[in-house]
Chains A and B, each alone.
Chain A
Amino acid sequence: DIVMTQSPLSLPVTPGEPASISCRSSQSLLHNNGYNYLNWYLQKPGQSPQLLIYLGFTRASGVPDRFSGSGSGTDFTLKISRVEAEDVGVYFCMQALQSFTFGPGTKVEIK
């Protein structure tokens, strides 16, 4: 199984400031079609996970452009250019190259 790890697991943020979350996989997620099978989700308090980024860097429909995904192979990053209060919650990465596994989540909260 592909194991996903994230850091940090807790991230206090200041509104208006940038934030960054790292996700690493135990095996490369780069498919021979050139895409990385890595997705990012946000689970807001009391809600189900919502898709933010798929295939490493593509924003899902309706996701603000302050969110961006980057990376390749085994190392990936989710960046929020300017955090807003509505961005609090738990961020998960998920791999879809071999079955489906998730990272442990990074809890983002306002300082």
Chain B
Amino acid sequence: EVQLVESGGGLVQPGRSLTLSCAASGFTFNDYAMHWVRQAPGKDLEWVSGISWNSGNIGYADSVKGRFTISRDNAGNSLFLQMNSLKTEDTAFYYCARGDAGSYLGDNWFDPWGQGTLVTVSS
């Protein structure tokens, strides 16, 4: 069974950092691009970042560029999102999701998604 399990969420103060992890299983992790998508309360789903199978192509939403860093460990079947300089507007459920291709630039859909991890940025 293909499975994605996020962890690392929690309550953090504005300006601080947090790193999310996503453990993948049930498929050949290094065949696929991976993504982070977030869902803030009362707001639309927002694509946050994507990374190609070999980390050769990486992209970020403008809202997080310069503050968030996506990375992956293919040997450990894991995806990461390092979040620095967190703002209250970063409060959201964060989902990792598998793309359908090797390069995130060529991805056409996301499937499956993990169950999500909640990040709350508040003083």
* Co-assembled chains A and B: yes
The chain A residues found within 8 Å of chain B, CB to CB, are 35, 37, 39, 47-51, 54-55, 60, 92, 94, 96, 99-105
* Interface pairs A-B: 9 shortest CB-CB: A102-B45, A51-B111, A100-B47, A48-B113, A54-B109, A39-B109, A96-B108, A102-B44, A104-B44
In the complex, the answer to whether B95 meets A102 with C-beta atoms within 8 Å is no
Most A CB contacts (10 A, CB to CB) among B35, B47, B50 go to: B47
Q: Does B66 contact A (CB under 8 A)?
A: no
In the complex, the answer to whether A48 meets B46 with C-beta atoms within 8 Å is no
Q: How far is the CA of A28 from the CA of B112 in the complex (A)?
A: 26
What is the interface size of chain B, counting residues whose CB is below 8 A from a CB of the partner? 21
In the complex, the answer to whether B108 meets A48 with C-beta atoms within 8 Å is no
Q: How far is the CA of A55 from the CA of B39 in the complex (A)?
A: 23
The chain B residues found within 8 Å of chain A, CB to CB, are 35, 37, 44-47, 50, 59, 61, 95, 100, 107-116
List A contacts of B116 (CB < 8 A): 48
List B contacts of A92 (CB < 8 A): 45
Q: How far is the CA of A37 from the CA of B105 in the complex (A)?
A: 13
Q: Which residue of A lies closest to B104 (CB)?
A: A100
In the complex, the answer to whether A48 meets B114 with C-beta atoms within 8 Å is yes
List B contacts of A54 (CB < 8 A): 100, 108-109, 111
Q: Which residue of A lies closest to B43 (CB)?
A: A104
In the complex, the answer to whether A94 meets B45 with C-beta atoms within 8 Å is yes
In the complex, the answer to whether B44 meets A94 with C-beta atoms within 8 Å is no
